[in-house]
Structure 1
Amino acid sequence: MKLSQGVEWCLHTVVLLGQIPQGGPLPRHLIARHHGLPDEYFAKYLKLLVKAGVLLASTGPRGGYRLARPGEHITAWEVVEAIEGDQSFFHCQEIRQCGSGAASPEECNEPCAIHQMMQVAFLSWKEQLSRTTVADLVGQVPEHVRDRNRLALVNA
């Protein structure tokens, strides 16, 4: 499984926004510059987060992006789902019914063991991300880094 770079960009973005007093807003170009991201390409991911209700966007001279809810109420899964969708990373092709070793449709009433294993793995992964909030992730950022980020972005 390989996630798009947008997942990493967006997880770092929500963690950064969670560090800003009163939650922002921060202009897109400042967030992009802070993480060394291409501003225009980054914009498409921010739009997905707004559409998913993870971020709020405002326009004007004091506009930008901020968390749509307190960090305690936004999960890592919401961010991943906004970028990648909610589908399992495994898509069973039912190859057990193909080729010279094909099983009959009657033998395939239940998902195969591989399909079941992958579904359990996906649900476990999703559950872990659903238990981890933006606030949890912000809490793991060292205090001196949070202070540095606040100074750099609030005074920009």
Structure 2
Amino acid sequence: MRINKGVEWAAHACAVLVPLWPDRGLPLAALAEFHGLPEPYMAKQMQALSRAGIVTGGRGRSGFYMLAKPPAEITLLDILLAVDGEEPAFRCSEIRQQGPCAAKPDECKLPCNIAAGFARAERSYRESLAQVDLAALTGAVAAQLGPDKVAEAGEWMAANLRSRG
């Protein structure tokens, strides 16, 4: 299964916003700059997160984004669905009803075993993503990066912060 870059970028942007919650955020330009990404494409991901209620804010270059709810209430599944939508990755086209040995529609009353296998795998995948919240994830990321990198990121964020109010 391939996850598009937009999901990765959105997840990273949310992770950067975690230590700023509940009343601070970063401008779109800063979120794009932090990860070395094109601002227009980052804007698209942030708009998707905003529509899903994961972040608030925006309103152009002068606006800023912040998490809309506690980091422990935002999962990787929430981010994936916000950016990629609810559609399953595998969509059965009933290929068993095509070709020289095609089954008749009335012979296909039971779900295709291949489609059912993909559906089970996707359920497991989504259940796994639903178990990973931003609070736990960013704690693990900070531990992996170490105190020097965390301090560097904190200094950069402090220089780019925007506050509500």
TM-score (norm. length: structure 1): 0.91
Q: What SS is found at the alignment partner of 1:155?
A: helix
5+ unaligned residues in a row in structure 2: which ranges? 161-165
Aligned twin of 2:163: none
Computed over aligned residues only, the root mean square deviation of the Cα atoms, in angstroms, reads 1.9
Letter of the aligned partner of 1:76 in structure 2? L
The aligned runs of 1:1-150 (5 Å cut-off) are 1-20=1-20, 22=22, 24-57=24-57, 63-143=63-143, 144=147, 145-150=149-154
Aligned twin of 2:159: 155
Q: Partners of 2:131 and 2:152 in 1: how far apart?
A: 28
Q: Partners of 2:127 and 2:68 in 1: how far apart?
A: 22
Displacement after TM superposition at 1:147 (Å): 2.8
Q: Partners of 1:61 and 1:2 in 2: how far apart?
A: 31
4+ residue stretches of structure 1 with deviation over 2 A?
Answer: 19-24, 58-63, 145-148
Letter of the aligned partner of 2:155 in structure 1? L
Identify which range, 50-59 or 143-152, moves more after superposition.
Answer: 143-152
Q: Partners of 2:37 and 2:60 in 1: how far apart?
A: 22
Q: Partners of 2:101 and 2:154 in 1: how far apart?
A: 61
State the identity as a percent.
34
Q: Structure 1 residues 148 and 23 mapped into 2: Cα distance closer, same or farther (>3 Å)?
A: farther
Q: What SS is found at the alignment partner of 1:82?
A: helix
